[in-house]
Amino acid sequence: MLKILANRIYRHLFLAQVIALVGTGLATVALGLLAYELAGAQAGAVLGTALAIKMIAYIGVAPVAAAFAQRFARRTMLVSLDLVRALVALALPFVSEVWHVYVLIFVLQAASAAFTPTFQAIIPDVLPEEEDYTLALSLSRLAYDLESVASPMLAAALLTATSFHSLFAGTAVGFLASAALVVSVLLPKAQQTYRRSIYDRTTRGFRIFLATPRLRGLLALNMAVAAASAMVIVNTVVLVQSRFGLSQSATAWALAAFGGGSMLAALALPGLLKVISDRNAMLCGAGLLGAGLMVGIGLPSYGFLLPLWALLGVGYALAQTPSGRLLRRSSHAKDRPAVFAAQFALTHACWLITYPLAGWVGARFGLTAAFAVLAILAALALLTSMRIWHPSHDLDVIEHSHENLSKNHPHLQDTGTERRHKHIFIIDDEHNRWPD
């Protein structure tokens, strides 16, 4: 897997991603402590509102940012967004009102919502070979999982020697280092296309998504992933410390079990995807998520929670990691930023539903009910995906016709002037609906 780090451009981009992730993790810990300093017992409400603002920024900003991205050089855009995030991190220790936190969090997450899809869309251009790109996806999944373990540990170590305000400085340093690494390489240029309206560019990724069967299936799988991960993220602390009466360290070990399962699956995926299709791997992962949530209904003890969370981690990585391969197969290079932005927004829209659902049902009706509701949601999402994303709709080369194009149209000239022909089929200006 590490052989792809021999590619200098990818190596610098990957290091930029890892450093920025660690910085973001430090900010997450510091934000919780800052909320407690400002709001005391109401810190949970402050954090809940901040997370809701984060999701709203992700859903609303990503597609709009992708629409404007073609007007800027990729490197300039990524570096500018890193600098904005660094400035916000430096400003957070000086806030004195809760509403200051909300404004700065929106700016920070809006910059991240513009940064992440742009960054993701560059990687297929840097690593055009599918095997290399698959390795990059798995390595990226490992980076996310390691960050969830490493950042809290690093924060705990720093807090023994300094105040939590210093964690925001560490976050800023991370973003500045990320910007420096991006500056150090020459990124491939985005393919130019003719000018479109802002509305067309903003909605283009969503239109490609909804017109492509495999991407509609991916959208359903996003809901299964969100259902299981919301149960883990929202209710692990309640399960461990309230139901089982254990310590904070036991909560950390449970979250580590989830991350460990995800890392194991990410390590196995490059080899696995050589022998089975993306569809089968992702449906299998969603099946594990639904089954794991069903098992959780009768969860007897902490000893059973750890392997169950590890199983959910495996399902999470199986269902989510190959999604980049689907996005790459389903879009031209010029449309990739819009498609990745649509996936980013739609994924977080699913979490915007499942996070409060997991918390509200768990608090009002109990954790058994939360497991049951989220298991049903994951199962319905899996069945929907299986129905929409049928193998007969997942062909690359499809025969189709263009009755509305003149014989002199450039597309027909490229394919031999025949209105009925076959080639790799991707939704674009000449192919705006999937063939029956």
What values do phi and psi take at 401, rounded to 5? -130, 160
Per-block average pLDDT, block size 10, for the chain (436 residues)?
82 88 74 71 63 79 72 84 92 85 85 82 84 82 65 65 80 92 84 60 83 93 94 85 82 83 88 92 96 95 94 94 88 82 86 86 89 97 94 76 69 63 77 77
CB 230 within 8 A of CB 374: yes
Kindly write down the DSSP assignment for every residue of 361-405, as one continuous string. HHHHH-HHHHHHHHHHHHHHHHHHHHHHS-GGG--SEEEEE-TTS
What does the pLDDT read at residue 319?
A: 94
What does the pLDDT read at residue 74?
A: 81
Burial classification of residue 344, based on how many CB atoms lie within 10 Å of its CB (0-12 exposed, 13-18 middle, 19 or more buried): buried
How many CA within 13 A on the CB side of residue 385?
28
What does the pLDDT read at residue 148?
A: 58
Rounded alpha-carbon distances, angstroms, from residue 385 to 207, 214, 223, 398: 18, 8, 10, 21
* Separation between Cα atoms, residue 245 and residue 321, nearest integer Å: 34
What crossing angle do the helices spanning 43-69 and 8-39 adopt, rounded to 10°?
A: 150
Judged by DSSP in three states, 19 sits in: helix
Supply the CATH classification number for the domain 204-319+347-394: 1.20.1250.20
Where is 420: in which H helix or E strand? strand 420-424
What does the pLDDT read at residue 20?
A: 84
What values do phi and psi take at 429, rounded to 5? -65, -35
* Separation between Cα atoms, residue 259 and residue 253, nearest integer Å: 10
**Residue ranges matching CATH 1.20.1250.20 in the chain:** 1-190, 204-319+347-394
Residue type, position 17, single letter? Q
Q: Which of 314, 262, 283 is nearest to 144 (CA)?
A: 262
Where is 109: in which H helix or E strand? helix 98-126
Residue type, position 399, single letter? E
* Separation between Cα atoms, residue 414 and residue 404, nearest integer Å: 16
How many CA within 13 A on the CB side of residue 130?
10
* Separation between Cα atoms, residue 275 and residue 115, nearest integer Å: 33
Residue type, position 355, single letter? Y
CB 321 within 8 A of CB 138: yes
Tokens 């991205």 -> residue: 69
* Separation between Cα atoms, residue 66 and residue 186, nearest integer Å: 20
The DSSP bridge partners found for residue 397 are 424
What does the pLDDT read at residue 412?
A: 65
Rounded alpha-carbon distances, angstroms, from residue 257 to 26, 146, 293, 309: 21, 12, 15, 6
Q: DSSP class of residue 425?
A: -
CB 389 within 8 A of CB 217: yes
Burial classification of residue 410, based on how many CB atoms lie within 10 Å of its CB (0-12 exposed, 13-18 middle, 19 or more buried): exposed
Supply the CATH classification number for the domain 1-190: 1.20.1250.20
How many CA within 13 A on the CB side of residue 78?
26
Tokens 């299709």 -> residue: 277
What does the pLDDT read at residue 101?
A: 82
Q: How far separated are the first and last CA of the chain, in Å rounded?
A: 39
The DSSP bridge partners found for residue 400 are 421
Q: How many CB atoms lie under 10 A from the CB of residue 247?
A: 10
Where is 270: in which H helix or E strand? helix 248-272
Q: DSSP class of residue 298?
A: T
pLDDT tens digit sequence for 172-188:
998 999 999 999 988 87
